[in-house]
Amino acid sequence: MKKYKLLYFVSEDKYFLSHKIKHAIYAQKKGFDVLVVCNLTKYEQKIKQKGINILGINSLRKSINPFSQVYLIIKLLNIIKQFNPDIIQNIALKPILIGSISAILFKKKVCVVNAFVGLGYLFINNNILTTILRFVIKNFLKIILKKKNFHSVFQNNDDLTFFNKKKIVDMERTFVIKGSGVETNYFKPKNVKKKYDVILHSRMLKDKGIYEYIESIRIIIKKKNIKALLLGSPDNKNYASIAEAELKKWNSEKIVEWVPFKEDVRDYLNQSKISILPSYREGLPKSLLEAASCGLPIITTNVPGCKEICVNNYNGLLVDTKNAESISKAIKYLLDNKNKREIFSKNSRKLVLKYFCVLKISKEFANLYFKILKLK
C-alpha cells in the first residue's frame, strides 16, 4: 500500500498543537507521512515529542508587506518540492492564500484542502481597508477554489452558505467538518466546589465580545454579588486585541478576576457554574467545546459557530450579539435556577460526546483525504 504524504500549513505551532495535533496523529496511524509547516514560537519540541515532523517558516500573521509574502510563497514552494506531498492542507485565511499560490506554482498536481476556521475580522468589519482587502481576496478565492484539485472545508454551514452565495466555491468539492473536536477524556466534569459564577476563556479580542461581557457584569453587580472570571491573554499580532492595561484595570476594579493564558484550563472550567462566549462570529470555538465537555451550561451569541455548540434551552441560552443587557439577563436567570443549570450541564456533555469528540473529527478528516485522493 502506498504511503501518502500530507503537509499541514498553518500560522503557528501553538495553534497546531491545540487544534490539529490529534488529527495529524490519527492521519499518521492511517498511513500518512505528515509534515507541519508553520511559524515556530515555543511549541516545536512538544509537537516533535508527539511524533510529528515540523519545519519553521517566517511569521504568517501580521505582515502585509508584499515582498515578505512573495518570500513566504517561494520558501513554502521549496519545502513542497522537497517533501513532494500528495495533499496540502492550508488552515485559516492567510495560510490558505499563501499555500494555494505555492501549490499552484508546484509543477505536480497536488490535492489541496483549504480549511476555513471562521470568517473572522476581515469579513465582519467594514472599514475602508478591510472592504478593499475583502474585495481582492474574494475575487482571488473565486479563481483558486474552483480548481479541480482544490477542496474547501468549513466548520459550520453558515460559512459554507456565505461562500456559496458569493459563488466563491464549487459545492461538489466543499465539505463541512465541525471544528477541531475536543478530547472528552481530558475535558470532563469534576464534582468540585464552584469558585466562579461565570467564566469566559478565550483570546482577549474585541470580537470575542469581551467588552459586552464586562458591561454585563457591571450591570449585575449593581444588584448582586457575582464572581466572574476572565481567562486568556492579549494577542498582540491581532488588530482586535484588548490591551493588557485594560485587563489589569478591570481586575483591579474587581469587575472580573483576570487570569492570563493557561495551557491547562480544566480546573478553572470545573470550578465555574456557567461558561460564556458572546462572540460576534466564530468558526466553531474550541473554548466552548472544552467548557461543554466539562459539563458547563453555555451562554453564547446566536451567531455561526457558537449556535452549533449551544442549542437554546437544551444545554444553554443564546443571546443577542453586542448586547450586554441580554447577556446579563441570561447570567442572572441561570444563577437563579440551579435545576436548569444541572439539566443544561448534563446536556452539554451529551452534545459533545455525540458530535464533537476529537476522534470523530479526526476520522472525518482522514476519510476526506482518502476520498479526494481517489478523485485525483
What are the cell numbers at 159? 460559512
In the chain, the N- to C-terminal Cα span, in Å, equals 17
Q: What is the pLDDT of residues 308-364, one digit of tens each?
A: 999 999 999 999 999 999 999 999 999 999 999 999 999 999 999 999 999 999 999
Pairing of strands 5-12, 228-231: unpaired
Residues of the chain with pLDDT under 70: 1, 59-64, 120-125, 375-376
Domain count, the chain: 2
Same domain (yes/no): 81, 92: yes
Q: Do 217 and 175 share a domain, yes or no? A: no
Per-residue model confidence (pLDDT) at position 121? 63
Query: Of 206, 367, 374, whose CA–CA distance to 280 is shortest?
Result: 206
152 in the same domain as 102: yes
Residue 361, in any domain of the structure? yes
40 domain-assigned: yes
What local confidence, expressed as pLDDT, does residue 125 receive?
Answer: 67
Are residues 169 and 25 part of one domain?
Answer: yes
pLDDT at 352: 98
Supply 320's cell numbers: 443577542
319 forms bridges with which residues in the sheet? 301
What gap in Å lies between CA 99 and CA 365, rounded to an integer?
A: 19
User: How high is the pLDDT of residue 67?
Assistant: 75
Q: Is residue 294 part of a domain?
A: yes
Q: 307: domain CATH number?
A: 3.40.50.2000
pTM of the model: 0.92
Domain membership of residue 78 (yes or no) is: yes
Same domain, 172 and 208: no
> Is the Cα dihedral 108, 110, 116, 117 positive or negative?
negative
DSSP secondary structure letters along 258-298:
EE---S--HHHHHTEEEEEE--S--S--HHHHHHHHTT--E
The whole-angstrom separation of Cα 209 and Cα 79 is: 39
Residue 191 lies in a domain: no
Question: Which residue range(s) make up the domain with 72?
Answer: 5-181+357-375
Angle separating helix axes 324-336 and 338-355, nearest 10 degrees: 110
Question: Does one domain contain both 349 and 361?
Answer: no
User: Does any domain span residue 27?
Assistant: yes
For 17, the 3-state DSSP assignment is helix
Angle at 35 between CA 33 and CA 26, to 5 degrees: 55
- Could you tell me the sign of the dihedral formed by the alpha carbons of 349, 291, 118, 264, in that order? negative
Domain co-membership, 267 together with 350: yes
Instruction: Judge whether 187 lies within some domain.
Output: no
